[in-house]
Amino acid sequence: MAAVQAVAADGSVVGWRGGFGRLWTAAVLSKFGDALRAAALPLLAAGLTDEPLLVAAVTACGYLPWLVFGLLGGALADRVDQRRAMAWVDALRALLMAAFAVAVALGHASIGLLIALAFTLTTLQTLFDNAATALLPSLVGPRGLAGANARLMTGQQLAGGLVATPLVPLLLTFGAAAPYAADAVTYLVGAVLLATLRVPRPAAPPRPSGSTLREEIAEGLRTLWRDKALRFLCASTALSNIGMGALVATLVLHATGWLGTGEGGYAAAMTGYAAGSFAGGFLARRIGDRLGRIRAVLLAGTAQVLALVVAGTVRSLVALVAALAVLGLMGMVWNVNQVTLTQERTPRGALGRVSAAFRTVSIGVAPAGALLGGVIASAWGLNTPALLAAAVFAAAVLLLVPVARAAPAGPADTAPAGGG
């Protein structure tokens, strides 16, 4: 039987059997479990406390490790066997989630435990995500990156949002621990798939004798800073993540409190976001190829501003679901083109460090956004974090305008750049 293949926009072929297929399957399964946990955890937190700031703190601590350990995770990703590192991380996350499921089943859950779990899982994720970003070009080659990133993210959204999120209310009927036990199983399966993945490790430029992690981290930061397009894109993504942190941290309160929809309304909102993201996976590469990656991100951010204004002003579940669908669709356009641009413009041996520097700056600010969302929701109403997010996204879009004007239309903006 012939291997199933996918053709990227530039004519390169991404094979599903073997390396990319196993990576895709492991990532999709893990995302399925993560989505179960992500949808169930805010409900569990809201059941433990009615204080918005404490509910937001759970989300904030899920972002904080990127600020503390993100750069270290990227440096390690460039040093170690990326496949093995990812397999070990998934195995450890499976153990942690199994232990947490037992704690929830026995009635020992607390806000403190939720915060500790969120912090620990994301600490491990700093190594996993940077290793995955650095590994992908070895599996598909530079010409297949845009198509591979789109298929990877689309599969994750399909499993994580359209399949997993609607299952959470059903799983909860079997007990509060059920979503977390399922998450543990997906991590375990992912670890097995990654452990059996066979991919030749590409030759990287040799490190200077006596090179330290600190020096290598600094070189990754310098590489990011010297590339004008990546530098401005990183700053814009950081601004948008402040807004997303505020929105995500309080979305359960927005749906169940401001709209009064209950858990079903929150699940519907999350499903709308996932459906939009899934649709965006089919459009992200095409939009990037036609407009250029920077202009594609600019278009996505502009549409997201409008969606967030609707979410924060129209008191209707239908409006919230529609707004989140647009937010998810354009978020996929943003993410696929941002990740692909980073992979295309970064030297292979530095990809783990540069992606870590990008993520540390852009994701590390999200805890501030999450906490700010909790403060604003407490002071001015549960819909105001969405309006805050709209304002911050607008600033992010304006930051990208000068870079978009300078970039050529089409894929030429993906060529490696010099200083800026």
307 and 324 Cβ atoms separated by less than 8 Å: yes
Q: How far apart are CA 328 and CA 281, in angstroms?
A: 10
DSSP of 15-78: E-SSHHHHHHHHHHHHHHHHHHHHHHHHHHHHHH---HHHHHHHHHHHHHHHHHHHHHHHHHHH
For residue 124, the tally of other CB atoms under 10 A from its CB is: 18
111 and 52 Cβ atoms separated by less than 8 Å: no
Q: How far apart are CA 74 and CA 68, in angstroms?
A: 12
pLDDT at 242: 92
pLDDT at 411: 52
Helix (H), strand (E) at residue 362: helix 351-364
Phi-psi region of 416 (alpha: psi -120 to 50; beta: other; left: phi over 0): beta
Radius of gyration, alpha carbons of the chain: 20
Angstrom distances, CA of residue 398 to CA of 105, 229, 373, 393 = 48, 14, 22, 9
pLDDT at 8: 40
DSSP state letter for 2: P
CATH number of residue 289's parent domain = 1.20.1250.20
23 and 191 Cβ atoms separated by less than 8 Å: no
Residue 206 forms part of a structural domain: no
pLDDT, tens digit (0-9, with 9 covering 90-100), for 39-87: 788 778 877 877 777 877 777 777 778 777 778 877 777 777 888 888 9
Residue 203 forms part of a structural domain: no
Question: Which domain, by its residues, includes 22?
Answer: 5-198+211-414
pLDDT at 3: 35
Residue 264: beta bridge partners?
none
pLDDT, tens digit (0-9, with 9 covering 90-100), for 85-112: 889 999 999 999 999 999 988 888 888 8
Residues of the chain below pLDDT 70: 1-18, 142-143, 161, 199-211, 406-420
What lies within 8 Å, CB to CB, of 301 at 6+ separation is 236, 240, 330, 334, 393, 396, 397, 400
Residue 110 forms part of a structural domain: yes
pTM exceeds cut of 0.75: no
Domain total of the chain? 1
Nearest Cα to 129, choosing from 102, 150, 153?
153
- Phi, psi values for residue 81, rounded to 5°: -70, 110
pLDDT at 15: 53
pLDDT at 47: 79
In the numeric block, which tokens belong to residue 38? 């992500």
